[in-house]
Amino acid sequence: MLSGKKIVIGVTGSIAAYKSATLIRLLVKSGADVKVIMTDAAKDFIPALTLATLSKNEVLHALTDNNQWNNHVELGRWADLMLIAPLSCNTLAKMAEGRCDNLLMAVYLSATCQVAIAPAMDEDMWHHQSTKNNLDKVLSYGNLLIPVNHGELASGLIGEGRMAEPEEILAWLQAYFKVAQSMQGKKVLITAGPTYEAIDPVRFIGNHSTGKMGIALADACRMRGAEVQLIYGPGNQPLPKGIKVKRVVSAADMYEACLSVFPETDIAIMCAAVADYTIANASAIKIKKTEDEMRLELIKTKDILKTLGGLKKAGQLLVGFALETNDEEANAFKKLESKNADYIVLNSLRDTASGFGHDSNKITIFDRAGNKYHFDLKSKKEAAADIINILLNYSHA
């Protein structure tokens, strides 16, 4: 699984740096191509010569060496994965802030590949509120965590904060690359967020969708190696790196954007809360409040999912979402048929923590064969993984 994989390992100042030697040896033995960057502090814990010998590559540590500039952009583009192990409390804080005061940080900040971190610190540091805040921030940027262990720490105390063992990190990387390849070569189109239908230049009809579920799906597909095109309505959610994003405003914009990419798409997931109706005659100028009553004339928007269902060719997979308040199951199956979708993901409104704006969702997935897959209330990230797993089983069937 690791054969030919290009891995940049960042080693920071922690007693756990001694484990880097074993980790690098295991990676090289598994066929990975490993390049090592050390911080100055890391060199106090393990000699660069050891890591250079084991990695079979020169160890880099400075932005410039012997009047030569180390091209940090090139390194972050070369790698399939950047792993910072051990990650010290100090480097974690720099990652949270985006500080660029050494080669490791320059590579991290310019890396286009996935970054994983294996922290190592004393328990009290690990549990400090600022460490927790920094970790949350760093993970919110899309970096992945290799969990710390409970065990003997450098201080002699027993507790949480011990870096994962090299064998555990190797197993984590093997599992990561297995998942990372599961959608390689697939082109995925995802819609997310609300649409705004203009009444006049300053007013619109919209809805409460934020786009969190669609963005979680886009990120899940990206992490599995897919080429993702996200079409995102008006929303202000942070967007993951490594996906193509087209911003749209109205249902008509979203329709056009989807139609232009659908022919090249393997999997289309229509997660957006598209307006079903738009204003018949939007005013080009701001409407003044002259009358006591005002009526808006609404006309149906084009149904994107249904249109794509009509255009769908063999081998293309089409997924719709549904939000129902009653007869959920019957309506979901009806939608599958009427829109010629392969799957409908039903969002439950029965849970207060599910749906618009929340970070969690409770979903049931329906397919054309009449199967139903119920899932518990989960984070949108986990719900996205559940959806993708169902789709991938279909693709492989």
Taking CB under 6 A as the binding criterion, the range among 89-97, 103-111, 222-230, 296-304 that sits at the site for ligand CTP is 296-304
DSSP 322-365: EE-SSSHHHHHHHHHHHTT-SEEEEEPSSSTTBSTT-SEE-EEE
**Binding segment toward ligand CTP, per CB under 6 A, in 95-103, 117-125, 207-215, 267-275:** 267-275
What distance separates the 2 farthest-apart alpha carbons in the chain?
82
CA–CA separation, 2 and 5 (whole Å): 5
The encoded tokens of residue 21 equal: 């030697």
Residue 158 CB, nearest approach to ligand CTP (Å)? 51
Alpha-carbon span 210 to 274, nearest angstrom: 12
| Residues 60 to 79 in contact with ligand CTP, rule: CB under 6 A | none
Shortest Å, Cβ 325 to ligand CTP: 9
**Structure token pair of residue 89:** 């409390």
> In a 3-state reduction of DSSP, which class is residue 372?
strand
Q: Which of residues 191-220 bind ligand CTP (CB under 6 A)?
A: 191
In the bound complex, what is the minimum distance in angstroms from residue 168's beta carbon to ligand CTP? Answer: 40
207 belongs to the catalytic site: yes
| Residue 279 in the binding site for ligand CTP (CB under 6 A) | no
If one asks whether residue 342 binds ligand CTP (CB under 6 A), the answer comes out as: no
Instruction: Note whether 304 binds ligand CTP by CB under 6 A.
Output: yes
Exactly one of 71, 207, 331, 389 is catalytic; which is it?
207
301 binds ligand CTP (CB under 6 A): yes
Stretch that binds ligand CTP, among 45-53, 55-63, 151-159, 301-309 (CB under 6 A): 301-309
Which of residues 92 and 275 has its CB atom nearest to ligand CTP in the complex? 275
Q: Tell me the backbone φ, ψ of residue 56, rounded to 5 degrees.
A: 65, 25
Restricted to residues 156-185, the positions that interact with ligand CTP (CB under 6 A) are none
From the list 196-204, 240-248, 315-323, 350-358, the region that binds ligand CTP by CB under 6 A is 315-323
Question: End-to-end alpha-carbon separation of the chain, Å?
Answer: 23
Among 92, 169, 322, 336, the residue binding ligand CTP under the rule CB under 6 A is 322
b/e sequence 192-212, b meaning 16+ C-beta within 10 Å = bbbbbbbbeeebbbbbebbbb
76, 309, 320, 355: which one binds ligand CTP (CB under 6 A) = 320
Burial of 155 (0-12, 13-18, 19+ CB in 10 A): middle
- Any idea what the Cα angle at residue 156 is, between residues 148 and 24, rounded to 5°? 45
In whole angstroms, how close is the CB of 77 to ligand CTP at the nearest point? 35
Establish if 387 lies at the interface with ligand CTP (CB under 6 A): no
Return the residue matching tokens 């990650």.
87
Cis, bond preceding 240 (omega within 30 deg of 0): no
Instruction: Provide the Cα torsion 224, 230, 236, 240; round to 10°.
Output: 30
Q: Which stretch binds ligand CTP (CB under 6 A): 158-166, 169-177, 268-276, 347-355?
A: 268-276
Our finding on whether 276 is near ligand CTP (CB under 6 A) is: yes
305 belongs to the binding site for ligand CTP (CB under 6 A): yes
Contact call for residue 103 and ligand CTP (CB under 6 A)? no
- Chain residues in the site for ligand CTP (CB under 6 A): 191, 251, 270, 272, 274, 276, 301, 303-305, 320-323
Catalytic residues, by residue number, are: 207
